[in-house]
Amino acid sequence: MEHKVIARCRSLAGCTEEPGFTTRTFLSPPMHEVHQRLRAWMEQAGMSVRIDSAGNLLAAYPAAQPGAAPLFLGSHLDTVPHAGAFDGILGVVLGLALVEKLAGRRLKFSIEVVGFSEEEGVRFGVPFIGSRAFIGEEVADARVSDAIRAFGLDPASIADAQAADNALGYLEFHIEQGPILERLGLPLGIAESIAGQSRLAVTFQGRQNHAGTTPMSLRRDALAAAAQWICAVEREAGATAGLVATVGRLEVEPGATNVIPGAARATLDVRHADDAVRRVAVERFLRSARQLAQWRGLSVSSEPLLDQPAVAMDAAFVAALEQAVTGSHYPLHRMTSGAGHDAMVVARRMPAALLFLRSPGGISHHPDENVLPEDVAAALTVGMHFLEQMEARLG
């Protein structure tokens, strides 16, 4: 079964906007082909498939009794440009494989495998369009509506994408997209929370001047200050467990070889599982910027761009996953997800949990992204145990 899962993911990677690469953004034409291929496999497994007005694919596997609450399994179907074959789609294909493993056996709950239309935010710079529609949040935006219409769906009925009120919850399978599980030699990890995120713009204002005539002692070089600050951020973040901080973008004015930089505008991205730790760290980074600026005779200003709290996964679902992992005789590892996932959005509406599969080489968002057959087998075994836990819970 694990080889079938991997082969399916690899074959779906061929549905792309760009020959030779896997690039599949929100409701772009190749998404039709992904839907068609998934639909064929899903119907063969006895599921009924629909595409909602947000472009999410939903495949229902009925319960023993009609009207039973659904458990959602899945992830997203869109990709970043030049993606690998597993980010997102693996969670959908694994959900289908679990239904296939049931081989017609009916449970006390129905299973709905969900493939969200949009998670990455590539096409419009707005992430989580699929899962936000799924939890009933407003995603209306003229461009999004146009894309929905162009795909042959009706943006006016987007409310039909909302999940049923009696949903049991959502379990997402996803590749880790980082090096931790591989470093620990573990196939699987249970995300207990998704890290909170701060994003800021920090601008150092110095004095633009002639690179040839201004002595070193009389300069107010904005870029030199920014460079010193970036190294301080790196050093300070490294001294706090679980904290990551990144300056990912730097704009220099005027940006000429023979001109001392007058302004340097940097972005700062700070993440931690504990919101208090994250906010204290941001304050510390800003204090460092002010101290450095003062010492160099510059000014510095900052502008908050995002303050997104950490999201805890559902305690009961995490406990059920833990039992499923230990019951399957795999080593248990709880972790924080440094990246955002659909589970983070869905958690606002229903119990949600997230199971990571090891990422070989820690590589993701890259054509070399991979997954090991034995880890897929582990996820299938744990997934089946999880379904048994849910069955037992419903008495």
Q: How far apart are CA 367 and CA 165, in angstroms?
A: 38
* 277, two tokens: 């730790």
Angstrom distance (rounded) from CA 395 to CA 391: 7
Count how many Cα atoms sit within 13 Å of the Cα of residue 246 in the half-sphere of its side chain.
9
**Which residues have a Cβ under 8 Å from the Cβ of 307 and sit 6 or more positions away?**
196, 197, 198
Q: Which two tokens stand for residue 387?
A: 């379904």
Q: Would you count residue 91 as binding Zn ion (CB under 5 A)? A: no
**196 counts as binding Zn ion under rule CB under 5 A:** no
* Residue 156 CB, nearest approach to Zn ion (Å): 29
The residue (of 87 and 176) whose beta carbon lies closer to Zn ion is: 87
If one asks whether residue 87 binds Zn ion (CB under 5 A), the answer comes out as: yes
Q: Which listed range, 83-91, 275-283, 313-321, 328-336, lies at the site for Zn ion (CB under 5 A)?
A: 83-91
Q: Which is nearer to Zn ion, 87 or 375 (CB)?
A: 87
By CB under 5 A, is residue 261 in contact with Zn ion?
no
Q: Could you tell me which residues are beta bridge partners of residue 190?
A: 334, 355
Q: How far is the CB of 174 from Zn ion (least distance, A)?
A: 6
Report the candidate in 134, 188, 143 with the shortest Cα–Cα distance to residue 343. Answer: 134
> 292 CB contacts (<8 Å, ≥6 apart)?
225, 228, 229, 232, 298, 300
Shortest distance (Å) from residue 271 CB to Zn ion: 16
Pick 226 or 354: Cβ nearer Zn ion: 354
Confirm or reject binding of residue 221 to Zn ion (CB under 5 A).
no
Q: Does 342 bind Zn ion (CB under 5 A)?
A: no
**Considering the rule CB under 5 A, would residue 52 count as an interface residue with Zn ion?**
no
Distance between CA 209 and CA 131 in Å, rounded? 50
**Residue 175 or 200 having the CB closest to Zn ion:** 175
Q: Which is nearer to Zn ion, 74 or 206 (CB)?
A: 74
- Binding mask 5-44 vs Zn ion (x if CB under 5 A, - otherwise)? ----------------------------------------
Nearer to Zn ion, 87 or 118 (CB): 87
User: What is the smallest separation between the CB atom of 198 and Zn ion, expressed in angstroms?
Assistant: 21
- Shortest Å distance, C-beta 74 to Zn ion: 11
Cα→Cα distances 219→118, 211, 260, 290, Å: 48, 9, 8, 17
- Between 38 and 107, name the residue whose CB sits nearer to Zn ion: 38
Cβ proximity to Zn ion: between 87 and 112 the closer is 87
Least distance from C-beta 48 to Zn ion, angstroms? 26
User: From its phi and psi, is residue 171 left (phi > 0), alpha (psi between -120 and 50) or beta?
Assistant: beta
Segment lying near Zn ion (by CB under 5 A), choices 85-93, 241-249, 296-304, 324-332: 85-93
- Residue (of 392, 241, 235, 233) closest to 327 by Cα position: 392
Which among 323, 388, 390 is positioned nearest to 71, based on CA atoms? 390
With binding defined as CB under 5 A, does residue 88 bind Zn ion? yes
> Interface with Zn ion by CB under 5 A: which residues?
87-88
